[in-house]
Amino acid sequence: MTATEVLVTRGTKPPRAKRPPRAKTPHKGAIAVFAGPFGILFLLFYLLPIGYAVWQSLLVVERDGLYGEPKEVFGGLTQYIQVFQHAPFWDSVGRVLLFGVVQVPVMLGLALIFALLLDSPVLKGKRFFRLAFFAPYAVPGVIAAIMWGFLYSPNLSPFTGLTQSVDFLSPEMVLWSIANVVTWVFVGYNMLIIYSALLAIPGEVYEAARLDGAGQIRIAWSIKIPMVAPAIILTAVFSIIGTLQLLAEPQVFRSFSSAVSSTYTPNMTIYATSAVPNPYLAAAFSVVLALATCILSFAFLKLTQRKAEQ
């Protein structure tokens, strides 16, 4: 404490100009105390692992003869060539893309409808609905998947009539059964994001529209939705990221359905590869997946921005 106090008194003595001079930074000690811990942790547990994974992905293991000591040597892009020839990995990428193309619009569409209804004067009992719809977000993905896994199973489900006529865990259906679990957990969360954005629209905007004779649906379509577009884009980007990173739900579903292989999603492929163990190839998968995630969410942002400008 004393050290910083000394620093402060020194800093306050001369009459301070509005903008501190470029050369000297006042309160250096305090800044280091405040930003230092996070900076170091961010370096250690964000930047360093990413850098290390990139480095590992460039290594290969070589042996001297058949029984020689294995040793790591620099292999350039060898692992990446493997990644691009790895059919199960690309199958898993295709699977989550298909999943995302269907699930993300459905989930966000529902979230938008619920948010608009919560914001409209026609609905009673808003508080209750808000709480009820948000409650599933408190359920961790693993637990939600276990729960729905039982609900889908032909003998345990309360809806035996349905589960015995439709096999939710069959190879054709299981992807959509998982999509339902993800939707169930996240609709309420996305609804709240959009709803908060709706609440931020000043009331007089609607008053003007109403004087023009616009009905609720017209107001929602022409005023509310365009004004909350940034919030919708935000939820879309986070949903795209989440879809590519899908892991917990399908991993749990392996216990319920043999149709879910150990390489069902990209992250499951990474996990399975690291368990082999082949850390070098797993690292290369990780790097490719992270890049794909960045590119996809960035491209989506750019695309929607361009559309907004038109």
Partner 1 sequence: MSLLTRTQGATTDAPRARGPREHIVSRVGALLIMGVFTLYFLVPIWWLFIAATKDRGQLLTTNALWFADWNLFANIGDLISYGDGIYLRWLLNSLGYAGLGALLATVFAGMCGYALAKYRFPGREVFFNVVLGGVLVPATALALPLFLLFSQVNLTNTFWAVLLPSIVSPFGVYLARIYAASSVPDELIEAARLDGSGEVRTFFTVSTRLMAPALVTVFLFQFVSIWNNFFLPLIMLRSQELFPVTYGLYAWNTQLNQIPELRTYVLVGAFLSIVPLIIAFLLLQRFWRNGLGTGSVK
Interface mask toward partner 1 for 12-41; x: CB under 8 A: x-------x----xxxxxxx-xxx-xxx-x
Contact range with partner 1 by CB under 8 A, out of 61-69, 73-81, 168-176, 275-283: 275-283
Of 45 and 84, CB closest to partner 1:
45
Q: How far is the CB of 131 from partner 1 (least distance, A)?
A: 6
Helical (H) or strand (E) element with 73:
strand 70-74
Q: Does 283 bind partner 1 (CB under 8 A)?
A: yes
Closest CA to 285 of 85, 98, 63, 141: 85
Q: How far is the CB of 74 from partner 1 (least distance, A)?
A: 16
Q: Does 155 bind partner 1 (CB under 8 A)?
A: yes
Closest CA to 297 of 232, 213, 259, 241: 241
CA atoms within 13 A on the CB side of 145: 22
Spell out the SS3 assignment of 96-121: HHHHHHHHHHHHHHHHHHHHHHHHCC
Q: How far is CA 75 from CA 79, 283, 290, 305, in A?
A: 8, 13, 21, 41
What is the Cα gyration radius of the chain?
26
Among 93, 113, 166, 173, binds partner 1 (CB under 8 A): 113
Interface mask toward partner 1 for 51-90; x: CB under 8 A: -xx--x----------------------------------
Q: Does 9 bind partner 1 (CB under 8 A)?
A: yes
Number of residues that bind partner 1 (CB under 8 A): 118
Among 88, 98, 130, 176, binds partner 1 (CB under 8 A): 130
Tokens encoding 305? 């921005």
